[in-house]
Amino acid sequence: MAKILLLLTSARKNGFTAGLLKEAASAAEKIPGVTVEILHAFDYKFGPCNSCFSCIRHSEKFCSLDDDMGQNGKGDLFAKLMDINGLIIAQPVHFWGSAAMTHLFIERLYPFLSHDNLHGLPFASISCACNQGMMRVADAELAKWAFTLKFLFIEGLPVHTVYYEKARLQARYLGEKVAQAAIRDEKEGRHHLSDEESWFYYMDKPWNALEPYLDNLTLGTFNWQDSMIEYALSQNTVNNPESRLMLEEARTALIETLNAWNLQDMRTAQKLLLKASALWTHATFLEASPKLGMNVNIPETYRPLQ
């Protein structure tokens, strides 16, 4: 049987957001071969990541904190994630963005960056707002986090309560789509997305890495001369010889990325940026690791250079 986990990150167990999640669950469980489980995040005890890097230091790649998202993979909530074929998160919109509990849960998935258990996991989101809205902003944030975890983003459903009845129908359709994807995941086996597959897959999703990552590297100028890469090289703020070699290669890739981006050749720009960002990731990890007292190698599955 394909298993779908539906997580409610609203404090209200019977509010608007919960109602939409129940619609999705009801539709999903009607698909033959599917079982669903609705969980309320507030029923579990877990706090923020404390940057101990235990999940990187040890071969098991699990969190060592003594709570429901830790216990070296035996925490109640974390353990449930190891045996699912689909995930739906339903969140309320707070402060024009994702709810704190949503961010907290996603942050504690950090160990999954070190291994590929959840890479390619079918995933969908529901973000429900009232008053001014901003549900699209909140849903794009969830898509961004799904991208970082290499989830197979099926669909996002940003909802305002002014069209709640219509959204109930949309939530049912969302549940059906995730159920069908979960069945494929269970029968055919999970396709673990490579970095390149993930970057291209998300090009038409609510969050696409290309422009935000270019903005990040160039500090908003979209000029390679103003980039963090160029600053690190010219100001010698990165000193590890291997890191500097990677940064020099990253600078070249960034220049080529910006050339393609200026020509509106987005697929080429995306591919080149993937190279620049992977080199940047490895160079800065290698430089920072000893200073953080980690003295460990970057996980093999995290932004592989090849």
Q: How do the pLDDT tens digits run along the chain, 306 residues long?
A: 999 999 999 999 999 999 999 999 999 999 999 999 999 999 999 999 998 888 887 767 788 999 999 999 899 999 999 999 999 999 999 999 999 999 999 999 999 887 778 999 999 999 999 999 999 999 999 999 999 999 999 999 999 999 999 999 999 999 999 999 999 999 999 999 899 999 999 999 999 999 999 999 999 999 999 999 999 999 999 999 999 999 999 999 999 999 999 999 999 999 999 999 999 999 999 988 877 777 777 777 777 887
Are 252 and 170 part of one and the same domain?
no
Strand partners, 13: none
State the pLDDT at residue 56: 82
In angstroms, the CA 173 to CA 255 distance is 43
Are 14 and 40 part of one and the same domain?
yes
Are 268 and 152 part of one and the same domain?
no
CB 158 within 8 A of CB 124: no
Number of folded domains in the chain?
2
User: Is 41 a member of any domain?
Assistant: yes
Strand partners, 6: 38, 88
Check: pTM over 0.85? Answer yes or no. Answer: yes
State the pLDDT at residue 181: 98
Burial class of residue 209 in the structure, from the number of CB atoms within 10 Å of its CB (0-12 exposed, 13-18 middle, 19+ buried): buried
State the pLDDT at residue 248: 98
Number of residues assigned to the chain: 306
User: Is 171 a member of any domain?
Assistant: yes
Of 84, 283, 271, which is closest to residue 196 (Cα–Cα)? 271
Are 261 and 182 part of one and the same domain?
no
User: Is 299 a member of any domain?
Assistant: no
107-112: which pairs have CB atoms within 8 A and are 24 or more residues apart?
Answer: 107/48, 107/49, 108/46, 108/48, 108/49, 108/63, 108/69, 108/70, 108/78, 109/81, 109/149, 110/49, 110/55, 110/63, 111/55, 111/61, 111/62, 111/63, 112/149
Packed helices 241-262 and 210-217: angle between N→C axes, nearest 10 degrees: 130
Packed helices 210-217 and 266-291: angle between N→C axes, nearest 10 degrees: 50
pLDDT in tens, 88-115: 999 999 999 999 999 999 999 999 887 7
In angstroms, the CA 173 to CA 140 distance is 19
Tokens in use for 197?
């597959």
State the pLDDT at residue 228: 98
State the pLDDT at residue 176: 98
User: Is 296 a member of any domain?
Assistant: no
pLDDT in tens, 148-171: 999 999 999 999 999 999 999 999
State the pLDDT at residue 303: 78
Using CA atoms of 197, 194, 71, 123 in order, give the dihedral in degrees to the nearest 10: 20
Are 176 and 61 part of one and the same domain?
yes
Are 34 and 119 part of one and the same domain?
yes
**What is the CATH classification number for the domain harbouring 91?**
3.40.50.360
Pairing relationship of beta strands 97-98 and 2-8 according to DSSP bridges: unpaired
Are 103 and 126 part of one and the same domain?
yes
Q: Which domain holds residue 77?
A: 2-195
User: Is 237 a member of any domain?
Assistant: yes
Are 115 and 143 part of one and the same domain?
yes
Tokens in use for 65?
């904190």
Tokens in use for 39?
């969980």
